[in-house]
Chains A and B, each alone.
Chain A
Amino acid sequence: MTENEIIARLKENVIQGRKTQQDAGIGEELSGTPGVVELTRLALEKNISPADIISQALTAGMRVVGEKFSTKEYFIPDMLASADAVGEAMEILKPLLEASNVETKGKFAIATVKGDIHDIGKNIVAILLRGAGYEVHDLGADAPAEKIVDFVEKESPDYLGLSALLTTTMPEMGVVIEALKDKGLRDGVKVLIGGAAVSDDYAQKIGADAYCVDSFQAVKVLDEFEGAKVNSL
Chain B
Amino acid sequence: MPREGILVTNPYERITEEQLKQIHLASLQILIDPGLICFSKQAAEIFNDYGAEVTTDSSGGRPCWQIKIPPKLVKEALDSAPKTVKLGARNPDNALIMKGDEPRVYFISGSETNIWLDVDFPSYVKKSDSSVEIKVPEFHPRRGTVADLCQSAHVCEHLETLDGYIRTVNIQDEDITEDNKDINKFFASLNNTTKHFMSGLTKLEQLDNVVRMAELIAGGKEALKENPIISFITCLVKSPLQFVADTTDSFIEICRRGLPVAVSSSPQAGTTAPIKEAGIMAQINAEVLAGITLGQLVNKGTPMLYGSVPVRARMDTLGDSYGSVETSQYNIDCVQMARFYKIPNYSTSGVCDTKIPGQQASIERLFSDIVVTLSGPQFLHCAYGLLDCNAVFCLLQAVLDDAHFQMLKFFLKTPRIDTQELDGVLKQIRETVATPRKLYISYIRPMLRSGEISPPYPFEGDGESDHVFALAYQRMNELLDKPVEHIDKDTTAKIFKEIPGLLPRLNFYQERK
Please report which residues of chain B, range 385-442, place their CB below 8 angstroms from some CB of chain A when the two chains form the complex.
436-437, 439, 441-442
A16 nearest in chain B by CB position:
B445
A138 nearest in chain B by CB position:
B436
Q: Which residues of A contact B278 (CB under 8 A)?
A: none
Whether B439 and A17, one on each chain, are in contact in the complex, defined by CB atoms closer than 8 angstroms, is: no
| Interface presence of B497 (CB below 8 A) | no
| Interface presence of A26 (CB below 8 A) | yes
| Interface presence of A78 (CB below 8 A) | yes
**CB pairs A–B below 8 angstroms (21 shown):** A17-B445, A24-B445, A24-B446, A26-B445, A26-B449, A75-B444, A75-B448, A76-B441, A77-B441, A77-B444, A78-B445, A78-B448, A80-B442, A81-B445, A84-B442, A120-B439, A123-B437, A123-B439, A124-B439, A127-B437, A138-B436
- Could you mark each residue 61-95 of chain A with 1 if its beta carbon is under 8 Å from any beta carbon of chain B, else 0? 00000000000000111101100100000000000
A163 to chain B, nearest CB (A): 13
New A-B contacts (4) at CB < 8 Å, excluding given A24-B445, A78-B445, A126-B437: A77-B441, A77-B442, A77-B445, A77-B448
Please report which residues of chain B, range 437-479, place their CB below 8 angstroms from some CB of chain A when the two chains form the complex.
437, 439, 441-442, 444-446, 448-449
Interface residue range, chain B: 10 to 19
Q: Which residues of A contact B436 (CB under 8 A)?
A: 138
Q: How far is the CA of A17 from the CA of B445 in the complex (A)?
A: 10
Counted as pairs of residues, one from A and one from B, with CB atoms less than 8 Å apart, the total is: 29
Q: How far is the CA of A84 from the CA of B445 in the complex (A)?
A: 13
Q: Which residues of A contact B437 (CB under 8 A)?
A: 119, 123, 126-127
A105 to chain B, nearest CB (A): 21
Q: Which residues of B contact A127 (CB under 8 A)?
A: 437
Q: Which residues of A contact B446 (CB under 8 A)?
A: 24
Q: Which residues of B contact A76 (CB under 8 A)?
A: 441
A87 to chain B, nearest CB (A): 12
Q: How far is the CA of A188 from the CA of B29 in the complex (A)?
A: 91
Q: How far is the CA of A119 from the CA of B439 in the complex (A)?
A: 10
B-side interface residues toward A, CB under 8 Å?
436-437, 439, 441-442, 444-446, 448-449
Q: Which residues of A contact B442 (CB under 8 A)?
A: 77, 80-81, 84
- Could you mark each residue 114-127 of chain A with 1 if its beta carbon is under 8 Å from any beta carbon of chain B, else 0? 00000110011011
A15 to chain B, nearest CB (A): 13
Q: How far is the CA of A124 from the CA of B439 in the complex (A)?
A: 9
Q: How far is the CA of A81 from the CA of B446 in the complex (A)?
A: 12
B443 nearest in chain A by CB position:
A77
Q: Which residues of A contact B439 (CB under 8 A)?
A: 120, 123-124
Q: How far is the CA of A81 from the CA of B448 in the complex (A)?
A: 13
- Could you mark each residue 4-20 of chain A with 1 if its beta carbon is under 8 Å from any beta carbon of chain B, else 0? 00000000000001000
Q: How far is the CA of A123 from the CA of B437 in the complex (A)?
A: 6
Q: How far is the CA of A77 from the CA of B446 in the complex (A)?
A: 10
Q: Which residues of B contact A80 (CB under 8 A)?
A: 441-442
Please report which residues of chain A, range 188-216, place their CB below 8 angstroms from some CB of chain B when the two chains form the complex.
none
Q: How far is the CA of A75 from the CA of B454 in the complex (A)?
A: 13
A23 nearest in chain B by CB position:
B442
Q: Which residues of A contact B449 (CB under 8 A)?
A: 26
- Could you mark each residue 161-192 of chain A with 1 if its beta carbon is under 8 Å from any beta carbon of chain B, else 0? 00000000000000000000000000000000
Q: Which residues of B contact A78 (CB under 8 A)?
A: 445, 448
Q: Which residues of B contact A77 (CB under 8 A)?
A: 441-442, 444-445, 448
Q: How far is the CA of A126 from the CA of B436 in the complex (A)?
A: 12
Q: Which residues of B contact A24 (CB under 8 A)?
A: 445-446
Q: How far is the CA of A189 from the CA of B437 in the complex (A)?
A: 25
Q: How far is the CA of A124 from the CA of B444 in the complex (A)?
A: 15
A17 nearest in chain B by CB position:
B445
A145 to chain B, nearest CB (A): 22
Q: How far is the CA of A84 from the CA of B444 in the complex (A)?
A: 15
Of A77, A81, A124, chain B has the most CB atoms within 10 Å of the CB of A77
Q: Which residues of B contact A120 (CB under 8 A)?
A: 439
Q: How far is the CA of A180 from the CA of B402 in the complex (A)?
A: 56
Q: Which residues of B contact A124 (CB under 8 A)?
A: 439
Q: How far is the CA of A24 from the CA of B444 in the complex (A)?
A: 11
B444 nearest in chain A by CB position:
A77
A123 nearest in chain B by CB position:
B437
A76 nearest in chain B by CB position:
B441
Q: How far is the CA of A120 from the CA of B437 in the complex (A)?
A: 8
Q: How far is the CA of A120 from the CA of B445 in the complex (A)?
A: 17
Top-3 shortest CB links A-B: A77-B444, A123-B437, A77-B441
Q: How far is the CA of A138 from the CA of B438 in the complex (A)?
A: 13
Q: How far is the CA of A78 from the CA of B433 in the complex (A)?
A: 21
A19 to chain B, nearest CB (A): 9
Q: How far is the CA of A77 from the CA of B443 in the complex (A)?
A: 9
A72 nearest in chain B by CB position:
B456
Q: How far is the CA of A119 from the CA of B441 in the complex (A)?
A: 14
Q: Which residues of B contact A119 (CB under 8 A)?
A: 437
A120 to chain B, nearest CB (A): 7
Q: How far is the CA of A208 from the CA of B436 in the complex (A)?
A: 28
Q: How far is the CA of A220 from the CA of B441 in the complex (A)?
A: 22
B437 to chain A, nearest CB (A): 4
B457 to chain A, nearest CB (A): 13
- Could you mark each residue 143-157 of chain A with 1 if its beta carbon is under 8 Å from any beta carbon of chain B, else 0? 000000000000000
Q: Which residues of B contact A84 (CB under 8 A)?
A: 442
